[in-house]
Copies of this chain bind each other. A is one copy, B any other.
Amino acid sequence: MASKASILKGTRDFGPDEVQRREYIIDTIREVYLKYGYRPIETPAMEKLETLTGKYGDEGDQLLFKVLNNGDFLAKANAQHIEQRDSKAITSQIAKRGMRYDLTVPFARYVAMHQNDIAFPYKRYQIQNVWRGDRPQKGRYQEFVQCDADVVGSDSLMSEAEYVLIYDEVFSKLGLQVEIHLNNRKVLEGIAEHFGYRDRFVDLSVAIDKWDKIGRDKVQMELIGKGFDPHRIDEVLDLFEQSDWDKVRTLHGSELLQQGIAELDEVLSYIDSAALKQELVLDLRLARGLSYYTGCIFEVKAKEVEIGSISGGGRYDDLTSTFGLKGTSGVGISFGLARIYDVLTELDRFPSSALKSLDGLFLCMDEESLRWAFGLVTGLRQNGLRIDIYPEISKFKKLMKYADQRGVENVLIVGETERSSGTVVLRNMRSGEQESVKVAELQDRLFQKA
């Protein structure tokens, strides 16, 4: 029985142009990762549910997609839980598989599992889909690509410097102007400590992280609402508003703060700032939401489009300890493919070469021409050109409409006249101009245009 063709909310199809433009971004990122010594790994879409559960907080546990066990899954479920309709308790009894929620936990699992085959410091990149059961809404999907790189097993701040250079190179190659924001969680925690708020550091940094979105006043209100002293917090926020690093350097009473500043200085010492193509910003208000960052943190912002952060990352401790491998601190970054795509689209900055479009499309006027042209097509393809041919005889109007729909620039028309004279008519679909071209010259002509 025929059913209506439709897809799940929160999912989407990608047509040819979208796929190729996404591949253009991904290829650009991949090429730079490779130059910096990162190599790819791939992990399964499904992990043991127990590998994923408890790693992303309560909300994450709920948003994890769980895959139903095959066969008679209810047979093994606890009778009492079934009686009580206890969906939560039953989940792990009827679903032993969970879908990849991010690339970090699978990577930690990978490192712990393959630790004997890995040379540390270990650099890997991973570009794969992840799935999250977020409520579908504009611009938020339940399936999306992450483009991560991490290095684990070294404390060297050279890695942080490398990430600044990777951002610089990737976004320059993509033809975008960005600001690369850099900060250090130790500096933030040190400031909190200086003002006597070290035990309230998380609240403070969560609020500061929203500054650019909601402004100082609302940050202040949020903090007062959480019980911070209005006068003292005013002083703290003055510091963040001024973003005066010289002043920050003079704050005393926090070793952590001095350590954070020393780390930033060391990162900068590796980078010849004058040679950067993009702007590097020491951003005191950069806090990053995720609690597991412990050192330098990054965020990249597009300068030409208002869209929030388009990449981010930072240093963390003890990535793999939940899998029994202790002491592997690391640092990683991720490119936001969807947002970078949106920025390039809005600025109309995809190069035309991203769309690997046809170099030529043959249209034939009769059966004999179809056969004759197919020989030409085969030769041109073997010489590396992207060529197609409408495989039937049809009305000229229909053929031209097809050429138009395919969005091809060069149409090659073949009829009896052309066949007998060893030529084809080359028509430019944009200008409408057409001319007769000898078969022997076709390869060069199309290659030139291609």
Contact = CB atoms under 8 A, between A and B. Distances in A.
A440 interface: no
Interface residues of A, number: 112
Contacts of A12: 44
A349 to B, nearest CB: 21
A94 B67 contact: no
A95 interface: yes
Interface of A: 1-8, 11-16, 19-20, 23, 34-37, 39-48, 50-51, 62-63, 65-68, 70-75, 82, 85-88, 90-91, 94-97, 99, 109-110, 112-114, 117, 119, 121, 123-124, 129, 131, 133, 142-143, 154-156, 158-159, 161, 165, 169, 269-270, 272, 275, 320-325, 356, 358, 361, 370-371, 374-375, 378, 381-382, 384-392, 402, 405-406
A74 B68 contact: no
**Which 5 A-B pairs rank lowest in CB-CB distance, beginning with the nearest?**
A37-B388, A156-B391, A119-B405, A11-B44, A16-B39
B97 A8 contact: yes
A298 B387 CA distance: 23
A412 B127 CA distance: 30
A308 to B, nearest CB: 25
A119 to B, nearest CB: 4
B41 A158 contact: no
A87 B71 contact: yes
B44 A19 contact: no
Nearest to A20: B40
A391 B158 CA distance: 6
Given A13-B41, A14-B43, 5 more contacts: A6-B51, A19-B39, A35-B381, A68-B94, A154-B391
29 contacts: A3-B51, A5-B112, A5-B323, A6-B48, A6-B113, A7-B48, A11-B46, A13-B43, A13-B44, A16-B41, A19-B41, A19-B42, A37-B358, A44-B143, A45-B45, A46-B65, A46-B142, A65-B68, A65-B70, A68-B95, A70-B133, A72-B85, A121-B391, A123-B388, A156-B391, A156-B392, A169-B382, A272-B375, A275-B378
A412 to B, nearest CB: 13
B15 A114 contact: yes
A48 B325 CA distance: 40
A325 B51 CA distance: 43
A280 to B, nearest CB: 14
A322 to B, nearest CB: 6
B45 A270 contact: no
Given A74-B87, A161-B374, A39 B13 contact: no
Nearest to A359: B35
A389 B99 CA distance: 35
A66 B65 contact: no
A94 to B, nearest CB: 7
Contacts of A97: 8, 65
Contacts of A114: 13, 15
B112 A91 contact: no
